[in-house]
Amino acid sequence: DGGITQSPKYLFRKEGQNVTLSCEQNLNHDAMYWYRQDPGQGLRLIYYSQIVNDFQKGDIAEGYSVSREKKESFPLTVTSAQKNPTAFYLCASSMQGRLAKNIQYFGAGTRLSVL
Amino acid sequence: AQSVTQLDSHVSVSEGTPVLLRCNYSSSYSPSLFWYVQHPNKGLQLLLKYTSAATLVKGINGFEAEFKKSETSFHLTKPSAHMSDAAEYFCVVSYTGTASKLTFGTGTRLQVTL
């Protein structure tokens, strides 16, 4: 069953704690993305990666870190420097190249709350 | 810079009546345009896409959208709403040559009443 798996579905962070959100895909896509969604706003890009061992900052990268050691995995760490981490986090992936037409496929999301 | 504006934050229709969700985009180049749907606490699902082929695009679940370059619009329509259409809808733009970068509208919440 092909797709994008995000875990956990719900996550709670204590003050000063780093937490890591998992994103795994078996679509053989080269590119992967992390978005943050807040109520009444569209999705905002945190980080993206177009190839293994390489990634770029998106529009709101401060307080977040990522790694891309394997093609199928793109974990996101929300660090203690992120002062307002409560949000719904979405991971996506896409093929690369003109034929991909920039279509991104999304996971089911992780809802992060602060204790 | 690319941007997209969804003109209504909330739309309410009766079941069986037409749906119209409005979207305008800013464009310096030829855009790719998408509509995604999100049900509560779920990820986003692609409804349809425009990538410079036919201007009238048909998607899943009976939705369609028309690309109008003169009006810089890409409105989403459906002839007859169903209760299962109740969700959040996002209009999204990207540009050929800026692979990977999507810009999302703020979303329109569609409510369907009996």
Q: Which residues contact A80 (CB under 8 A, 6 or more apart)?
A: A15, A16, A17, A18
- A102·B99 Cβ contact <8 A: yes
Please indicate if any CB of chain A lies within 8 Å of the CB of B105.
Answer: yes
Which residue is closest to B99 within chain A, CA to CA? A102
pLDDT at A99 over 90: no
Q: Which residues contact B18 (CB under 8 A, 6 or more apart)?
A: B77, B78, B79, B80, B81
- B96·A98 Cβ contact <8 A: yes
Long-range contacts for A63-66 (Cβ within 8 Å, ≥24 apart)? Answer: A64/A34, A66/A34
Chain A residues with beta carbon closer than 8 angstroms to that of B105: 42
| Higher pLDDT pick, A101 / A26 | A26
Which residue is closest to B101 within chain A, CA to CA? A102
| Higher pLDDT pick, A101 / A32 | A32
With b for 16 or more beta-carbon neighbours within 10 A and e for fewer, the B73-111 pattern comes to bbbbebeebeeebbbbbbbbbbbeeebbbbbbbebbbbe
Query: How high is the mean pLDDT of chain A?
Result: 91
**B99 to chain A, minimum CA–CA distance in Å?**
6
Which residue is closest to A97 within chain B, CA to CA? B99
- A103·B49 Cβ contact <8 A: yes
pLDDT, tens digit, 9 for 90 and up, residues A39-85: 888 899 999 999 999 999 999 999 999 999 999 999 999 999 898 99
Chain A residues with beta carbon closer than 8 angstroms to that of B102: 43, 45, 102, 104
Q: What is the pLDDT of residue B28?
A: 66
Interface mutation target, options B5, B9, B102, chain A, most CBs of A under 10 Å:
B102
Q: What is the pLDDT of residue B7?
A: 95
**B5 to chain A, minimum CA–CA distance in Å?**
10
Q: What is the pLDDT of residue A95?
A: 86
Give the confidence band of A98 by pLDDT, cuts at 50, 70, 90: low
pLDDT at A104 over 60: yes
pLDDT (tens place) for every residue of chain B, 114 residues total: 778 999 999 999 999 999 999 999 986 677 889 999 999 888 899 999 988 778 899 999 999 999 998 999 999 999 999 999 999 999 999 865 555 678 899 999 999 999
pLDDT at A2 over 70: no
pLDDT, tens digit, 9 for 90 and up, residues B1-28: 778 999 999 999 999 999 999 999 986 6
Q: What is the pLDDT of residue B100?
A: 62
